[in-house]
Amino acid sequence: MFDIGFWEICMIGLVSLLVIGPEKLPKVARIAGFWVGKTRHMVASVKEEIKEEFKEEELRQLLKEQQDKIDAMTKDLSLNGRAEHFLDSKQQQMDKDKHGGE
């Protein structure tokens, strides 16, 4: 995450020791460690939630695409059904005309 080397950490520790003092330094380090850990946990949680949201959105898009394909196929089938019904009615009408309108 950060590009901090050993010497940078030593410098931060030395400055902290001089500014805060040797008595309060362990308590401040413990509190800082607590907040760093809490922040890391929160960032990991947010990353996981974002990953789940992306996965859900991907599934929603996939479902929509599949539903569109199903709707298109169903539309084609209903057109075929209507065409068959039309042809059957025409055939019946022609049969009636052929047999003298019975």
- Count of structural domains within the chain: 1
Specify if 11 maps to a domain.
yes
- Other C-beta atoms closer than 10 Å to the C-beta of 20 total 14
Specify if 1 maps to a domain.
no
Average pLDDT, integer, range 60-73: 90
pLDDT band at 81 (very low <50, low <70, confident <90, very high): low
The boundaries of the domain holding residue 62 are 6-98
Give the C-alpha separation, 50 to 56, whole Å.
Answer: 10
Per-chain mean pLDDT for the chain: 85
Question: For residue 33, is it left (φ>0), alpha (ψ between -120 and 50) or beta?
Answer: alpha
